[in-house]
Structure 1
Amino acid sequence: MNINLCKRVLPLLGLLLVCVWSAPGRAEAWLVDLEGAVGPATADHVVRGLGEAADAGAELVILRIDTPGGLDSAMRDMIKAVLASPVPVLGYVAPSGAHAASAGTYLLYATHVAAMAPGTNLGAATPIQIGSPGIGSLPSGEEDGGAASPSAMEKKIINDAVAYIQSLAQLRGRNAEWAESAVRDGASLAAEDALELGVIDLLAASLDDLLQQADGRTVNLDGTERLVNSAGLAMHHHQVDWRSDFLAVITNPNVAYILMLIGIYGLIIEFYNPGIGLPGVLGAVCLLLALYAFQVLPVSYAGLALILLGIGLMTAEAFAPSFGILGLGGVAAFVIGSVMLMDTQLPGYRIAVPVIAAFAVFSAAICSIALGLILKARKRANVSGVEHLLGQSAIVERVTPEAAWVRLDGELWHAQSEQPLAEQDEVIVDALDGLVLKVTRRPHQ
């Protein structure tokens, strides 16, 4: 009886396990954080987070924003990923005290549903990397109080930014007029005012509140209307992984700058001392990492060329001294190039002055030391062959009836003296007769 029961139950259990295994997992909302300055590392984290959420079958993605802004190229990469996402993206400026300034404003406009927590703000979206104070503070073609009007290039950059954010506003049905003022005038808004003016869609105090309010809204996904089913979703937090952390480190302008210099100096040492290996390997690795960082950073190639010219001139001074002309020119080119290296006015993407000063002093010190050694060598008398042995002292190592042998420069020499010699006597080389040293015994103290 028990055997028959088992025969009936086991197939049912197997069928149940198959159903459980093949059943889709519980729908989730993915939480992706954008914190700090917008750059290559944050863009990589957000873009990969959106892609992984879509692959995992997430119901929606919450992009929690707290940023002062950052690089235009990184911002546009994230916006492209949001616009192409097959999953609804809810932009949420949180927690209280957070802000979506500059690039964060563009990104919030691009999301399918824009929300803010109380006590947050957005705006100040003028492209600040274009130059002087006052640019973008006035409508195009106007001046105020005699302030210098923007140049043609500056107007082009502002107009391009205005057209970009207005296109996002029109796509999502949000306030395009205020978006223009955020770019031209650097306008900012608190969360409550943003909701009132139609800049955002929701004001949510928490993630649960956001999910409840977003439930039932209709969003446009690549031309297709989709209903947001967000109530009661489980939350999956997409953490920053080692790749994004590593990218954040090497794309720090100061770190990239140091890696470049270590790489260049390492290769120089290897070229002038071939066979060591370690400086060359370390230099090559550091230089490749620096070049990878530079391709995603706003690098001025004129600044990079000046740095390379400065290092070349200082190296030339060390090995072909010009009594300071090449060295001073190299230091000047190095410092100017370092200041110009990052082609942006964003504070988070400029090289710190102490770092530049430290490497400039280090390079100048190495150049000075090498120059001093070369000048010192020039003052020495030129000697060749074995003539430099004259006047040196040596120790008698062995005495035979036929001859005495002394050790000098690591070699045994046949020595002759008018005085009797004994082992361990100290002698002075007076002359050289072929391969025989003429020596004088130094008196015992």
Structure 2
Amino acid sequence: MRRKLALLLVTLGFGGFLAIYNLTPVAGSDHTAAVITLDGAIDTISADFLARAITSAFKGGHSFLIVSLDTPGGTLESTRDIVEGLLASPIPVVVYVSPPGAQAASAGTFVTSAGHVAAMAPATNIGAASPVAAGGADLPETIKDKVTGDTAALLRGIARERGRNAKALEETVLSAASYTAAEALESGVVDIMAQDLDDLLAQLDGMTVQLKSGPVTLRTDGVRLVTITRTPVERFLGMIANPDIAFLLLSIGGMGILIELLSPGLMGPGIVGLIALALAFAVLGNMPVNWVGVGLILLAMSLFYLEAQAPGIGVFGIGGAVSFILGAFLLFGNLSFGPTAPQLPAAPRVEISLWALGTVTVLLLTSAFLTGRAMLQAKTAVVYAGATTSGNLVGQIGHATSDLHPRGTAYVGGEEWTAESDDGEPIQNGKEVLVLGVEGLVLKVFQADKDTSLGEKI
């Protein structure tokens, strides 16, 4: 009897263990959830931010992540990156189109549909996801058919993965259909319409979502929301991620390096140039850029340098101007007199303003011309010291009128000159100096009382 009772208890205990083991996990038991705000155009920066937020929320032990979304659209490449991250997320992600008046247009439709839970606030809209060219222009017919078919297939796949109305979502691509929050809820495009975050949390309580690891039930009663914000680097990159700013930084960087090469030792232009180039490449790395355009702009700087070394020829200068303009045109593949703000609901406009291009080109060519002319005049100029030419100054003795460390001033041939110690050794004020050579308007000297034999010094 005792053995039968013991066996029964063991069986009941094992069965209870299996029952507990197979219970659906409950999210929200630790009463924390993460919240982020994703507004503006969908680009590489926003895709990286969302990926980091998912990782941070998972590692931070939060039960789920709420994405407050308001976007006019974005690039297809960044949209695909976000969709991949949402579909593979290790924690539930709730995409909430808010506040009232917000939109999930174009790329936002894909992001909302890829969430484990899709929610919208009243007076918001979703849809108009037809692919377009940069700047909102229509794609060529052949390319349009291919891209539209591929994009529609992506959205159908997302809808079926999340159990949403694939037909209604597909129409946002094929016919640019757009839905209000009420229409989206009625047609099965989204799961919830919530007035605010409190209403959203109340409706989420008890909802079960499917992760790769299995089903998870959301528990939101008493949950504490923790906001994940962009890092200073992400905010800074988002602020300067503008085609005109990227173009200006690239141009300033090239000019700074060019000036440093033409006038070694200035340091300032070289440092500014390196910083500007580093920022330019950081911005370009987060935008759909044509790197051939970048190469042509840098080639233009090289040609301007050659023109400055051989002024008067003009071939390098003209080639540099042509290379610079072509590079600017190809940098983003588009030019416009209009504003660079996104055209709704299409992808964000990525192009250089013709006003920015014209201004930078004129300043660059003017600077290159003036620099080349000044260097030509310096090379062809004859230096006079009273009636004595610069060639006759070699071998003359004068005296330093300031300390040379190693550059200063010296009085030679009846005039005061800029002088530089030939061996780099300092020469004190008042010491006799002997002229070894003349470089432009600078005398190369050494202290006469160290060695009065010119032949031995040379």
TM-score (norm 1): 0.73
Q: Distance in 1 between matches of 2:267 and 2:137?
A: 50
- Pair 406,89 (structure 1): closer, same or farther in 2 beyond 3 Å: closer
1:324-360 per-residue CA deviation (whole Å, 9 max, x = no partner) reads: 4543443233123213212579544323333222211
Confirm or deny that 1:356 pairs with 2:360.
no
Which residue number in structure 2 is paired with residue 182 of structure 1? Answer: 172
Which residue number in structure 2 is paired with residue 41 of structure 1? Answer: 45
Question: Does the 8 A contact of 2:240 with 2:246 survive in 1?
Answer: yes
TM-score (norm 2): 0.71
- Stretch of structure 1 that moved more, 358-367 or 107-116: 358-367
Q: Supply the AA of the counterpart residue of 1:44.
A: D
Unaligned runs of 5+ in 2: 1-27, 335-345, 393-398, 400-411, 420-431, 434-458
Match of residue 224, structure 1, among 214, 221, 238: 214
* Cα RMSD for the two superposed structures: 3.3
Which residue number in structure 1 is paired with residue 91 of structure 2? Answer: 87
Confirm or deny that 1:271 pairs with 2:261.
yes
- Pair 256,127 (structure 1): closer, same or farther in 2 beyond 3 Å: same
Which residue number in structure 2 is paired with residue 19 of structure 1? Answer: none
Q: CA deviation at 1:133?
A: 4.5
Which residue number in structure 1 is paired with residue 374 of structure 2? Answer: 373
Q: CA deviation at 1:408?
A: 2.5
Question: Does the 8 A contact of 2:74 with 2:106 survive in 1?
Answer: yes
Q: Supply the AA of the counterpart residue of 2:175.
A: D
Question: Does the 8 A contact of 1:40 with 1:247 survive in 2?
Answer: no
Which residue number in structure 2 is paired with residue 320 of structure 1? Answer: 310
Larger radius of gyration between Structure 1 and Structure 2: 1
1:269-295 per-residue CA deviation (whole Å, 9 max, x = no partner) reads: 222333333333332233233223323
Question: Does the 8 A contact of 1:314 with 1:363 survive in 2?
Answer: no
Q: CA deviation at 1:204?
A: 0.7
Question: Does the 8 A contact of 2:383 with 2:390 survive in 1?
Answer: no
Which residue number in structure 1 is paired with residue 104 of structure 2? Answer: 100
Q: Supply the AA of the counterpart residue of 1:407.
A: G
Q: Distance in 2 between matches of 1:323 and 1:407?
A: 37
Match of residue 414, structure 2, among 402, 407, 427: 407
Unaligned runs of 5+ in 1: 1-23, 136-148, 391-396, 398-404, 414-445
- Pair 407,387 (structure 1): closer, same or farther in 2 beyond 3 Å: closer
Secondary structure of the residue aligned to 2:285 is helix
Question: Does the 8 A contact of 1:90 with 1:115 survive in 2?
Answer: yes
Q: Distance in 1 between matches of 2:262 and 2:381?
A: 23
- Pair 263,131 (structure 1): closer, same or farther in 2 beyond 3 Å: closer
Secondary structure of the residue aligned to 1:274 is coil
Match of residue 239, structure 1, among 216, 229, 233: 229
1:387-432 per-residue CA deviation (whole Å, 9 max, x = no partner) reads: 3599xxxxxx9xxxxxxx973244999xxxxxxxxxxxxxxxxxxx
Q: CA deviation at 1:104?
A: 0.8
Confirm or deny that 1:121 pairs with 2:125.
yes
Question: Does the 8 A contact of 2:134 with 2:348 survive in 1?
Answer: no
Q: CA deviation at 1:246?
A: 2.2
Q: Supply the AA of the counterpart residue of 1:352.
A: S
Secondary structure of the residue aligned to 2:227 is strand
Which residue number in structure 1 is paired with residue 201 of structure 2? Answer: 211
Confirm or deny that 1:69 pairs with 2:69.
no
Q: Supply the AA of the counterpart residue of 1:387.
A: T
Q: CA deviation at 1:371?
A: 3.9
Q: Distance in 1 between matches of 2:63 and 2:136?
A: 45
Confirm or deny that 1:150 pairs with 2:152.
no
Count of residues in correspondence between the two structures: 367
